Structure 1
Amino acid sequence: MKIATYNINGINGRLPVLLRWLEQAKPDIVCLQELKCPNEKFPLAAITAAGYNAIWHGQKSWNGVAILSKTPIQEVSRELPGEPEDTHSRYIEAIINKMVVVCLYLPNGNPYPGPKFDYKLKWFKRFIARAAKLMELELPVMLVGDYNVMPTELDVYKPERWIDNALFRQEVRDAFQQLLKQGWTDAIRKLHPHEKIYTFWDYFRNAFARDAGLRLDHFLLSPQIASRLKKAGVDKEVRGWEKTSDHAPAWIIIGK
């Protein structure tokens, strides 16, 4: 089974890119972030025609997450517990093929310091609490999406330039490590522990051509599914397509 995550950076504007990649990569499950469209504007007809079921949690102009699957999806929740007044569309949780699949878009947090960074840490704290509850279920669970975190210096092209960026602040990296200590496996790093692997390249300063990238998109797997991990990678070439997202799709393959 192939599971992918892709920050699409505007699903309607980049729908041709998404459909081309779906046809080429043929993932079984896809977690999408940054839909940037209200619920009623989600391109369900095109997604269905491509062979996928879909659930989504949209928001006008910003955020938005969705899960696509070739098999039926049972939605569990579209709210991260802990803050009823949080209106950002950043979380959706479902059951697919007897697995719990969480799609998340963790806040960027810039500029640091400031209220956006404070919100990021608070959201992360809530997510860590939810992850702990999911781990207690002792089921196959995957936490998939754009974490807006570079966990280590290997995950950023010039770490010394990012020390005070909200994506690389020590508080954020510590929060990611707190997640891992619950028992989650960082799938890409498990299979590629020493390789330079990026999932994001800025549109500016010729970043993609220079391979000045960041690893922001992650798969965290519970022990019940981590033992079935076979392969992991990034479809880097998609970042070079015309009118593409600034992220590339990342993927893992799970055995039976």
Structure 2
Amino acid sequence: MKLATFNINGIKARIEALPAWLAAAQPDVVCLQEIKSVDEGFPREIFEAMGYRVETHGQKSFNGVAILSKLPLEDVTRGLPGDETDEQARWIEATVLGRRAIRVCGLYLPNGNPVPGPKYDYKLAWMSRMEARAKVLLAQEEPTVFCGDYNVIPQDADAAKPELWTTDALALPQSRAAYRRLLALGLTDAFRARDASPGQYTFWDYQAGAWERNNGIRIDHLLLSPQAADLLRDCQIDKQVRAGDKPSDHVPIWINLDA
């Protein structure tokens, strides 16, 4: 099973680039972030024609997540538990029915800037809710993947210029500590399990020639439960997508699971 995560930064803006990547990469399952569309506005027909089932959790103009799957999906749920007042569309779950059933959680973690302020408070509270949800799912001892845009730079090695991020919500000690608490639950960072080298990024800003200078950061992650980690065969970043026509500022990252 080839499972990918991709922050597309607007489905309308990526209406040609996303299908082109899907056709080339042929993932079985894709979790999308920042679709920036309400559910009824998502162009599902394009992806259904490519053989994908489409499940969305949309929001007008902002946020929004989706799952595209060539395999059957069941038990689709939307929204991160723990705060009934939270109206931001940042979490979607489903069980993918391959040879092995895999629980997939697609997430778009809050950015948190500016710091300090309510947006950073929301980020940390959201991460605490995610930790609580992860504990529930891990207790079920089934293969589970938490994938998406985490808006966290785990270590200095995950940024081309870490000194530029020291006061940013993506790299503050509290953000990194919250991310480490997820790992401490027993989750595996799929990419680092396969590649420990520096200079591996998933995001390059549109400004200041970041792509051309390879001034990137690694903030898109796939964290695996122990049962999913046992199935891991590969993990790669499709960096070349950033050089395409009208690209997102993120690129896809994917895993192959023996599932």
State the TM-score bracket (shorter-chain normalisation): over 0.9
Mapping for residues 50-129 of structure 1, pairs under 5 Å: 50-97=50-97, 98-129=101-132
Give the match's secondary structure for 1:207.
coil
Question: Identity of paired residues, percent?
Answer: 50
Comparing 87-96 with 76-85, greater Cα deviation is found at 76-85
How far off is 1:76 after superposition? 3.2
Q: Deviations over 1:194-235 (max 9, x none)?
A: 332100000000000100001010000011110111111111
The alpha carbon displacement at 1:255 in A equals: 1.8
**Cα shift readout 1:76-130 (whole Å, capped 9, x = no counterpart):** 3202111001000000011102111000000000111111011100111100100
SS of 2:177's equivalent in the other structure is: helix
> Residue 246 of structure 1 corresponds to which residue in structure 2?
249
Q: Contact (CA 8 Å) 1:185, 1:222: kept in 2 or not? A: yes
Aligned to 2:45: 45
Residue type at the aligned position of 2:214 = D
Distance in structure 2 (CA, Å) of the matches to 1:73 and 1:15: 24
**In 2, Cα distance between the equivalents of 1:220 and 1:22?**
22
Q: What residue number does 2:16 align with? A: 16
Cα distance between partner residues in 2 of 1:244 and 1:172: 28
Matches within 5 A, 1:1-256: 1-97=1-97, 98-256=101-259
The number of aligned residues is: 256
**Which deviates more from structure 2 when the two are superposed, residues 67-76 or residues 37-46?**
67-76
What is the letter of the counterpart of residue 253 of structure 1? N
| Displacement after TM superposition at 1:72 (Å) | 1.2
Q: Secondary structure at the match of 1:15?
A: coil
CA distance in 2, matches of 1:79, 1:115: 20
| Shift, 1:17, TM fit | 0.2
Counterpart amino acid of residue 68 in structure 1? L
Unaligned runs of 5+ in 2: none
Residue 219 of structure 1 aligns with an amino acid whose one-letter code is L
Contact 1:55 1:73 (C-alpha < 8 Å) held by counterparts: no
Aligned-partner Cα distance in 2 for 1:56–1:155: 30
Could you tell me which runs of 5 or more consecutive residues in structure 1 were left unpaired when the two chains were aligned: none
Provide the C-alpha distance between the structure 1 equivalents of 2:14 and 2:88, rounded to a whole number of angstroms.
Answer: 22
Q: How many Å apart are 1:134 and its aligned residue?
A: 0.7
Write the letter of the residue equivalent to 2:46.
Answer: A
Q: Secondary structure at the match of 1:210?
A: coil
Distance in 2 between residues matched to 1:162 and 1:83, nearest whole Å: 29
Asked whether the 8 Å contact 1:55–1:75 carries over to 2, the reply is no
Moved segments of 4+, more than 4 Å: none
